[in-house]
Amino acid sequence: MEWNNDPVFQMAQRQFDDVAEVMNLDKNVANRLREPDRAVLITVPVRMDDNRVQVFDAYRVQHNDTRGPYKGGVRYSPHVTLGEVAALSMWMTWKCSLMNLPLGGGKGGIRIDPTKHSRLELQRLTRRYTSELVGFIGPNQDIPAPDMGTNDQIMAWMMDTYSQLKGYAVPGVVTGKPISIGGSLGRTEATGRGVVFTVIEAAKVLNMTLGSQTKVAIQGFGNVGSHAAASLHEMGCKITHISDISGGYANTKGFDIPKVFEYIKANGSLKNFKDAEPISQIDVLTAPVDVVIPAATERQIDDKVAAQLKCRILAEGANGPTTTEGDKVLKERQNEVFVIPDVLANAGGVTVSYFEWVQGLQNFFWSADEINEQLSKLMTKAFMEVCDVQKRHKVYMRTAAQILGIERVAKAMLARGLYP
């Protein structure tokens, strides 16, 4: 398949192969889990505002549904590839299993820069993409969610299109929707908040105190990075290094995070923010801080960056931010840098998406306090389970997290058997 030539998918497969070897995983199960169940390749024609018709490449990859319906985001990015989406769908399978959710892994994407298109163009794009997928998604089949470049409005258009084609409202077809049409309280903040819950647990393991003396660097100030920053700022931590689409920025005294939010809302990015010194994206990752949260895109931490990390905790808010070569260095530096792998650190988003799905199926909605309490409980439980596996097998934290996730999927596959 085309995805086998993609470096991101190759990285996901190498991770899986290494873990399967450590686990002595059944070869038949391993051969099946190395590849996604299904990939839907779509060309999406969209009428532009100037009446031209432009065609965009789009994908939906479904990795494994042994434990439940496929679940995963839809990203709009000019860099989306089939291999990237396939890798993300595989990681989502391990993530759902790690959190012990009755869901499997899926992912979707459209190769487009959403910042260069009008609201109407994005609406037409989303509706056509959804209509092409109507036979492959659904509340008991595959449940999309927001991801990079998408938001609750995109999910509202997906839900409405699917419902129009079915002839009745189907709020459970997507998660991350607006509250007014069945969305869940706490979903927007969930991934960033989940990262912080794992940082709190890691600090306990390391006997660190999180407070005014704690310095934090966050690469990427989108949904994940910004909400992680808000939570850590409320705890009294100093966010001293930040980056967004315009570059990296430092403030050794600590950023006033509410002021940062206001500036970005007014200007679109941190460019020319007066209370900051411009630095590079690499400088953000290698800053002399206690906690680094890579919350941007894949493959940011290679072997050179990994060797320069000065943090005590690396909490991977993004999916696949560390390359295979970077991982080798971090394995050697386990006593210096405590890694909270992506499948654990950023699992808060899919966990609250699961809560939203359950609430939609029951038509019974929870309070924000209930959601945050349950999220904290599940994130803490998963963290402790991964630490237990890490101690038992004496392996790297990423390996431990994937052992736990893969093991549950493998047991379910063996119990169900092979059809026909």
The one catalytic residue in 107, 177, 215, 238 is 107
| pLDDT at residue 252, rounded to an integer | 93
pLDDT tens, 46-71? 999 999 999 999 999 999 999 999 99
pLDDT surpassing 90 at residue 4:
no
Tell me if residue 15 falls in helix, strand or coil: helix
Confidence of residue 409 (pLDDT cuts 50, 70, 90): very high
Q: Which CATH architecture has domain 190-345?
A: 3-Layer(aba) Sandwich (3.40)
Q: What is the mean pLDDT of residues 262-273?
A: 94
Q: Which CATH architecture has domain 36-170?
A: 3-Layer(aba) Sandwich (3.40)
pLDDT surpassing 90 at residue 397:
yes
Average pLDDT, the chain: 96
Closest residue by Cα to residue 44 from 32, 31, 57: 57
Which residues, including other chains, have CB under 8 Å from residue 365's CB and lie 6 or more apart? 184, 185, 359
Start-to-end CA distance of the chain, whole Å, equals 24
| Calpha distance 165→161 (Å, rounded) | 6
| pLDDT at residue 30, rounded to an integer | 97
Which residues, including other chains, have CB under 8 Å from residue 370's CB and lie 6 or more apart? none
Q: What percent of the chain has pLDDT over 70?
A: 100
**Distances from the Cα of 109 to the Cαs of 55, 114, 282, in angstroms?**
14, 12, 27
**Domain 36-170 shares a fold with domain 190-345:** yes
pTM listed for this prediction: 0.94
pLDDT tens, 366-393? 999 999 999 999 999 999 999 999 999 9
pLDDT tens, 191-242? 999 999 999 999 999 999 999 999 999 999 999 999 999 999 999 999 999 9
| pLDDT at residue 190, rounded to an integer | 94
Closest residue by Cα to residue 315 from 184, 187, 206, 213: 206
Q: What is the mean pLDDT of residues 288-316?
A: 96
Closest residue by Cα to residue 296 from 268, 326, 316: 316
Query: What's at 87, amino acid-wise?
Result: A
Say if residues 20 and 90 touch (Cβ distance below 8 Å): no
Confidence of residue 166 (pLDDT cuts 50, 70, 90): very high
Active site residue 259: no
Domains of the chain by residue range: 36-170, 190-345
pLDDT surpassing 80 at residue 2:
no
Other C-beta atoms lying within 10 Å of the C-beta of residue 209:
11
Query: What's at 73, amino acid-wise?
Result: G
Q: Largest alpha-carbon pair distance within the chain?
A: 65
pLDDT tens, 113-127? 999 999 999 999 999
pLDDT surpassing 80 at residue 360:
yes
List the beta bridge partners of residue 339.
314
